[in-house]
């Protein structure tokens, strides 16, 4: 069964506020994107990676692939305005015989091979799956500075990537979302909206998305601790 991973790395990293885009910032000496790609390439189930980057970064990323001897990179394609557009461009570059596809944020370099394998296995069994963790904080809905609602914490999970799907489900959900102007902040929400069930696979709190400067400090500490 052919399995591909779309790695989205075409964001501008505005919340990080760094001169260099966050996916290229170093994590223990190598770019975050490189750390992410190395882990994915080391997963036995992953056959091929489609990498989505900003048009201006293609040359630089091609050099990174050579310099770090990165394996399994099939295509490097251009991203779009929103993450959803970048994933759609990645879907267009998938091979026709691919049955299962995972989508992963380049900005999650701490994902582990066993997490990737777990979500791929669940997608093969059930059609769609996402990694996630139970939320630790109480979550409230706030509008104009006023608390409107306190949500039941025991029902809430923070969603990570990779998220993995039967290829047809993801492609159909993205196509319909694009046609009908539906917007979601992750791929599972599009697949849910398209009417398919999504299985939650419990991951680790360490699989954080490097989003703001403090995340980088935590990610670096976790990475070094893992190295021992």
47: number of CA atoms within 13 Å, CB side?
11
Shorter beta-carbon distance to ligand CTP: residue 105 or 115: 105
Rounded-to-integer distance, Cα 139 and Cα 151, Å: 6
Per-residue x/- track, 102-121, ligand CTP (CB under 6 A): ---xxx--------------
Query: How many of the chain's residues bind ligand CTP (CB under 6 A)?
Result: 21
- In the complex, minimum distance from the CB of residue 108 to ligand CTP, in angstroms, rounded to a whole number: 7
What token pair was written down for 188?
A: 């599972």
- 3-class DSSP state of 48: strand
Residue carrying the six token digits 């190598």: 30
Sign of CA dihedral 158, 170, 71, 106: negative
The number of beta carbons lying within 10 Å of the beta carbon of residue 10 is 27
Answer with the entry of Mg ion, ligand CTP, none that 177 interacts with (C-beta below 5 to 8 A by kind).
none
Q: Determine what percent of the chain falls in helix, strand and coil, rounding each to the nearest 5.
A: 40, 25, 35
189's enclosing H/E stretch is: helix 187-193
Beta strand 26-27 with 30-31 is antiparallel
Rounded least distance, CB 183 to ligand CTP, Å: 12
**Which of ligand CTP, Mg ion, none has residue 140 at its interface (CB below 5 to 8 Å by kind)?**
none
Stretch that binds ligand CTP, among 59-67, 101-109, 150-158, 192-200 (CB under 6 A): 101-109
Residue 209's binding partner among Mg ion, ligand CTP, none (Cβ under 5 to 8 angstroms by kind) is: ligand CTP
Q: Is 72 in the site for ligand CTP (CB under 6 A)?
A: no
Task: Give the end-to-end CA distance of the chain in Å, rounded to a whole number.
Answer: 35
Nearer to Mg ion, 103 or 120 (CB): 103
Q: Binding residue for ligand CTP (CB under 6 A) from 74, 80, 156, 193? A: 80
Q: Which residues have CB under 8 Å from 97's CB, separation 6+?
A: 2
* Min CB(83)–Mg ion separation in Å: 6
Torsion of CA 16, 18, 20, 24, to 10 degrees: -40
State which of positions 7-66 bind Mg ion (CB under 5 A): 11
- Min CB(102)–ligand CTP separation in Å: 14
- Is residue 15 a contact residue for ligand CTP (CB under 6 A)? yes
Q: List residues near Mg ion by CB under 5 A.
A: 11
Residues that bind ligand CTP (CB under 6 A): 8-15, 23, 52, 79-83, 86, 105-107, 209, 211
């Amino acid at each position: 069964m052919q399995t591909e991973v779309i790695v989205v790395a075409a964001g501008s990293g505005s919340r990080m506020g760094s001169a260099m885009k966050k996916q290229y910032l170093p994590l223990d000496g190598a770019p975050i994107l490189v750390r992410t790609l190395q882990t994915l390439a080391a997963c036995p189930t992953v056959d091929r990676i489609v990498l989505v980057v900003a048009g201006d970064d293609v040359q630089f990323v091609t050099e990174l692939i050579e310099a770090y001897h990165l394996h399994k990179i099939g295509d490097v394609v251009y991203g779009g305005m929103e993450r959803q557009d970048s994933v759609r461009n990645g879907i267009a570059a998938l091979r026709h015989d691919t049955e299962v596809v995972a989508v992963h944020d380049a900005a999650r370099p701490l994902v582990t091979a066993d997490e990737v394998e777990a979500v791929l296995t669940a997608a093969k069994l059930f059609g769609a799956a996402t990694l996630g963790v139970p939320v630790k904080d109480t979550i409230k809905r706030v509008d104009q500075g006023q608390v409107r609602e306190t949500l039941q914490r025991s029902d809430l999970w923070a969603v990570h990537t990779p998220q993995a799907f039967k290829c047809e489900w993801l492609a159909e959900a993205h196509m319909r979302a694009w046609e009908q102007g539906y917007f979601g902040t992750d791929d599972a929400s599009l697949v849910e909206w398209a009417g398919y069930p999504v299985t939650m696979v419990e991951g680790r709190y360490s699989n954080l998305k490097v989003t703001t400067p403090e995340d980088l400090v935590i990610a670096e500490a976790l990475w070094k601790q893992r190295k021992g």
